[in-house]
Amino acid sequence: MKPRLPLLVLALLPGIGAAADLTGTWRSEFNSQIGLQRYTYELRQDGTALTGRATSEVDAQRRESELREGRVEGDTVTFVELLDFQGNALRIRYRGALTNGELRLVREVGDFAREEIVARRAGAGEASPGGAEGAAPRPGPRRGFGGPIELGPDDKPAFPPVPEGFDRSRDGIPNGTLEMVEYDSRTVGNRRRALVYTPPGYTADRRYPVLYLLHGIGGDEEEWRRGGRPNVILDNLLADGQGVPMVVVMPNGRAQPDDRPGPNPMATAPAFARFERDLLDDLIPFIESKYSVRADREHRALAGLSMGGGQSLNFGLGNPDTFAWVGGFSSAPNTRPPAELVPDPAEARRRLKLLFLSCGNRDGLIRISQGVHAYLKEHEVPHVWHVDEHAHDFEHWRKALYHFSRLVFRDGNP
Ligand code: FER
């Protein structure tokens, strides 16, 4: 038997001397921080140059991207995928080798994510639909940032479903206004932008409460407008006699001179922590000088999505003299450990008007919010814990904003 082994190995190797041609369709399925991804790579090799396109599906979303800077040298394969991810241009680097007819690649999204993937030629060794060959990994539970999702009995909706059309613009109702403003930041040493919603009929004859609404790691001051339609959600709520007219401020939560997310948003995480000073020392005073707003803790709220959810919990709960209403939607790992967030449960119980936590049950970050909820429950700090069927996406965040906005600034809540 033994003498046959080398022959078998040779038979599996690509032709020696004649470099293998990677031209063709390759598929790969792998778990990643944002869930199971299904990729199809259309490659075209011309000498040592490699070009092509990729189609990827994650969580029923389909994306197309271009492959650039591709090289095949010896058995080493490198290329870059340019992916438009929620409006941000991401560079995904691939490096690896063709081994036994399979492309074994390391896929890196900046320092943000690193996966070892295997791509196989379409048709070759693929599980037939419904087939039980076991070639493709089973979807399994969605993996999040660092762990599988485990749901407990408390992880369920706190509210009935949102009304149909809650985030669709409606005819015949009054509309609020969105405007981009700039403020001087002593913290960052430059002028920074924030998008401001004023409610329909906004007038200097009244003073409004203010919600500061924060974006995620790949976002900026436009992210909520781009993906969240906050003005539409608020206009609709008000037209339905729900919620309180409020000013909503959507700043850039990355307090550094270049506040774009860039190709490696994760590298900007320290600037998200630094934003606490910009918010408290620069942005809030600016908003309170420019708009007709109430300037006390009971008329300031802080909420945000993901990285901005972590910021909201950290800064909101950490500054109880400034904020009485706090919301974290799908809060990210930048969230402080619960015992640091709420070191004095009695004070939180006494002073907080609303502490709102929400997450989708298909979001790999849910363990962060589950941990905060468990701590609050154990220490009897009243809070909302709302879990719906979504993932780490704007489906969840639009609905979370709806629910939060219905409750905020209303004593006794609904
Ligand atoms: C992390 C995973 C995700 C993390 C932040 C995020 C700081 C943020 C995600 C988002 O804002 O969408 O490990 O660490």
**Contact criterion met (CB below 8 Å) for 41 and 28:** yes
318 Cα to the center of ligand 1, angstroms? 20
User: Which residue CA neighbors atom 3 of ligand 1 most closely?
Assistant: 332
Q: How far apart are CA 175 and CA 158, in angstroms?
A: 29
Give residue-wise pLDDT tens across range 279-336: 999 999 999 999 999 999 999 999 999 999 999 999 999 999 999 999 999 999 999 9
240 Cα to the center of ligand 1, angstroms? 35
What pLDDT is recorded for position 58?
A: 77
331 Cα to the center of ligand 1, angstroms? 8
The HSE-up count of residue 200 (CA atoms within 13 Å, CB side) is 15
The set of residues, in sequence order, having a beta carbon less than 8 Å from that of 296 and lying 6+ positions away, is none
What pLDDT is recorded for position 147?
A: 64
Question: Cβ(333) to ligand 1 under 6 A?
Answer: yes
- The beta-carbon contacts of 97-103 under 8 Å, at least 24 apart in sequence, are 98/14, 98/20, 98/22, 99/75, 100/12, 100/13, 101/12, 101/14, 103/22, 103/26, 103/28, 103/77
330 Cα to the center of ligand 1, angstroms? 10
What pLDDT is recorded for position 61?
A: 73
Give residue-wise pLDDT tens across range 341-350: 999 999 999 9
What pLDDT is recorded for position 205?
A: 98
- Find the largest Cα–Cα distance for the chain: 93
What pLDDT is recorded for position 127?
A: 39
Question: Cβ(311) to ligand 1 under 6 A?
Answer: no
What pLDDT is recorded for position 75?
A: 84
pTM, to two decimals = 0.70
Low-confidence ranges of the chain (pLDDT < 70): 1-19, 33-35, 59-60, 85-89, 110-114, 124-147, 412-414
Pairing of strands 210-214, 247-251: parallel
2 Cα to the center of ligand 1, angstroms? 51
- To test ligand 1's pocket by mutation, which of 252, 307, 311 has the most ligand atoms within 8 angstroms of CB? 307
Question: Cβ(109) to ligand 1 under 6 A?
Answer: no
367 Cα to the center of ligand 1, angstroms? 13
- To test ligand 1's pocket by mutation, which of 33, 213, 215, 217 has the most ligand atoms within 8 angstroms of CB? 217
Show the 3-state SS of the chain: CCCHHHHHHHHHCCCCCCCCCCCEEEEEEEEECCEEEEEEEEEEEECCEEEEEEEEEECCEEEEEEEEEEEEECCEEEEEEEEEECCEEEEEEEEEEEECCEEEEEEEECCCEEEEEEEEECCCCCCCCCCCCCCCCCCCCCECCCCECCCCCCCCCCCCCCCCCCCCCCCCCCCCEEEEEEEEECCCCEEEEEEEEECCCCCCCCCECEEEEECCCCCCCCHHHHHHCHHHHHHHHHHCCCCCCCEEEEECCCCCCCCCCCCCHHHHHHHHHHHHHHHHHHHHHHHHHHCCECCCHHHEEEEEECHHHHHHHHHHHHCCCCCCEEEEECCCCCCCCHHHHCCCHHHHHHHCCEEEEEEECCCCCHHHHHHHHHHHHHCCCCCEEEEECCCCCHHHHHHHHHHHHHHCCCCCCC
Token representation of residue 386: 């709302």
